Structure 1
Amino acid sequence: MKPWQLVAFGLVLGLLAAAIILLVILRPIGQPIAILPAPTLSPIMVDVSGEVLNPGVYTLQPDSRVMEAVAAAGGLLDGADVSRVNLAGRVQDGDKVWIPAKGAAAGETTQLPSRSSNIAINLNTATAQELETLPGIGEVKASQIVAYREEHGLFMNLDDLLNVPGIGPELLEKIRPEITLSN
């Protein structure tokens, strides 16, 4: 071997020895990182009604979609109007999914609620006059609710009402016990 090769070999060997010594001497300091299992999410409960085989309350996995809620309720009836429902929409715990019947007008209702009774007003079928019977809802807000429904389709959950101009969280909470999305 040539002298420069011996020097290079010696340097590499010296660096390797120094690295091994440093690894042995400088052990990691501190607590090891604990890897915890992923949290399990609680199932959600969704009320499915309207044109489904078995209306009722169903337990679903978090991040479920409307179509999964409908499937849990036995599927759609022949009279279901799915063109007015976003089947790909996500449902949340406590949501009400209502599947309308074909031919039912957006403002059509089979039973007019009386404000002196415990019948909740259906946001998806109520007329502006019926909506005006709700506390804090006058002629203008009632018209805005109907206009929003006609422009955007049926309300999929009560929180969708927050998208209507003039309806804030406080007003929604005030009227929540008196409104529904199904008959």
Structure 2
Amino acid sequence: MQSLIEKYRTILVSLAICAVILIGYILKKADEPPVEEPSFTAAAEVEKPINPENPETETAKSPEKVYVDVKGEVVNPGLYEVRQGDRLKFVIDRAGGFTKDADKKLMNLAVKVTDEMMIYVPKIGEMETMPQSLPAPVSSGAGSGEDKLNINTASEAEFETLPGIGPSKAATIIQYREENGPFKSIEEITKISGIGDKTFDKLQEHIFVQ
């Protein structure tokens, strides 16, 4: 038995030394803070190349360039290149702003501009004095067709210049013409409610059809 121990003493001593070293290494590693492994997702994001040919992957596409024509009461009227969807205020500023005579209250500066848009800034009082329609002259007696009103083309405002025709009857005449087509004769106007023989007697010298 003694000879067996002597024979394997060296081996046993070596194993004991190895066990002590292994235990010491394990205890040392247990005291060290854990090392976080890099996230595969984060690594992929870092290594992802930026494609210079496709800037939409990094930033939004630049707005489209459009052209607008600015006229009227601005400091520098003319053609301007702006971005699609810019507000009217930006365009007016590009044109140098309003002049002192500009009627600003008629301009909606929040409107978005579009390509080929024409922007006109009127003078103060210009829109109020601009006639909506030019009534045809009405003579007091029979005359040529130029002195009479063509009831197939006359506007509501022009009908109101005729004797015995007010806003209500003028609107009724327009409605009748839209629903039934052009008048075939001046006598047909008597089919309209409110226009009887007496009214027609006053009208017939001032109207014609064509």
Which structure dedicates a bigger proportion of its chain to helix? Answer: 2
Compute the TM-score of the two structures, normalised by the length of structure 1.
0.40
Task: Name the structure, 1 or 2, with higher relative contact order (CA <8 Å, separation 6+).
Answer: 1
- TM-score when normalising by structure 2: 0.36
